[in-house]
Amino acid sequence: MRKLLFFLLTAIYCLINLLWDLYWRITRSERISSRVISVGNITVGGSGKTSLAEYIASRLLSGGVKTAVVARGYKRPASSSLAICDSQSHDWESCGDEAAALARSIEGLKIYVDSSKTYAALKASEDGHEVVVVDDGFQHRRLGRDLDIVCIDSFNPFGNGWLLPYGILREPIRSLKRADVFVVFVENNDIDISNLSLPSGKQVFKARKKIKSIESDKNELIDLKGKKVIGFCGIANPDSFYNTLENTGADIVAFERFKDHYIYRIEDIESLTGLMEKADANTAVTTLKDFVKIERDWPHDKKLCYIKINLDIDNEEEFIRLIRDE
């Protein structure tokens, strides 16, 4: 019965998606004076889009290009009014966990957060930013873009091929024709991605996540090799973080999974620190996205750290030329 219900809901979603696509085929998108780079995907869950948006913004800023990131601020507790955060001011309740993590990661970057990404992009442009990077922008077709990048997880690229809720697709696979560039996330560069059957004539890059550093709540660099730790996260793909934690060489004695964008309660913190004591672990490890939400309430006598991620992109020089429009 549940399967039938999901199928019926998917049929309705498919019809809505078709009408939405037809609407944007005859409606002109809004353009702004800044160059717009959209980073998105066509599936629910983590596919590396925020990591790629961070990579692009970092590379552009380091090259002297005034760059801002636009985000929706999904599930932020504050109102839906525009919020601007940076490395000096990144309250997650105002801007959302992903924006707060981005702001903490990149010195000098401003993130414009609003329920309307078009409005946020317009404000960023009015503030003099030469490039606006839109995080999770593929479905936001109201805003015109100069470069449309779609991220794909090579491990589970399109699920069962069905739209939500029967599958994991936000849009039909044929929507990939709108993209200019594909970035396929792989475990290692030896993985063959030719079976993805991506639209011809588009540039495809492989990307791999790697550990940049492990930092404590006191901004100390941490080596986890051989140490007993508990891990926890509230992200779309917790198994990916577990694998990353394994790669640190830590002895993972417990691992807790929470829902994506989970808002931690005091009871959750007490449960996690109790788990540390029970497992005789001296450190708790999480993602930066989770860390920004929990650091204020975490007890000072329990060590908490987070893993910072970098990207390795195959044919990086060509990718950087693309984002710089050279």
* 110-113 and 83-85 strand pairing: antiparallel
Q: How far is CA 80 from CA 51, 101, 111, 153, in A?
A: 24, 19, 15, 30
Instruction: Give the SS3 label for residue 234.
Output: coil
58: which strand partners? none
> Of 140, 143, 81, which is closest to residue 112 (Cα–Cα)?
81
The distance between the two most distant Cα atoms of the chain, rounded to a whole number of Å, is 62
36-45 confidence digits (pLDDT tens)? 999 999 999 8
Q: How many CA atoms lie within 13 A of 308 on its CB side?
A: 19
In one-letter notation, the amino acid at residue 133 is V
97-121 confidence digits (pLDDT tens)? 999 999 999 999 999 999 999 999 9
* 61 contacts: CB under 8 Å, gap ≥ 6: 67, 106, 108, 109
Digitized pLDDT (tens) for each residue of the chain, 326 residues in all: 778 888 899 999 999 999 999 999 999 999 999 999 999 999 998 789 999 999 999 999 999 999 999 999 988 887 668 999 999 888 999 999 999 999 999 999 999 999 999 999 999 999 999 999 999 999 999 999 999 999 999 999 999 999 999 999 999 999 999 999 999 999 887 788 988 989 999 999 999 999 999 999 878 999 999 999 999 999 998 999 999 999 999 999 999 999 999 999 999 999 999 999 999 999 999 999 999 999 999 999 999 999 999 999 999 999 999 999 98
Which residues make up the CATH 3.40.50.300 domain(s) of the chain? 2-209+312-324
The arrangement of strands across the sheet holding 228-233 comes to 83-85, 110-113, 67-71, 131-135, 35-40, 147-153, 181-185, 203-216, 303-313, 283-287, 228-233, 251-257
CATH code for the domain defined by 2-209+312-324: 3.40.50.300
- pTM for this structure? 0.95
How far is the C-alpha of 139 from the C-alpha of 38, rounded, in Å?
A: 10
CATH class of 210-310: alpha beta
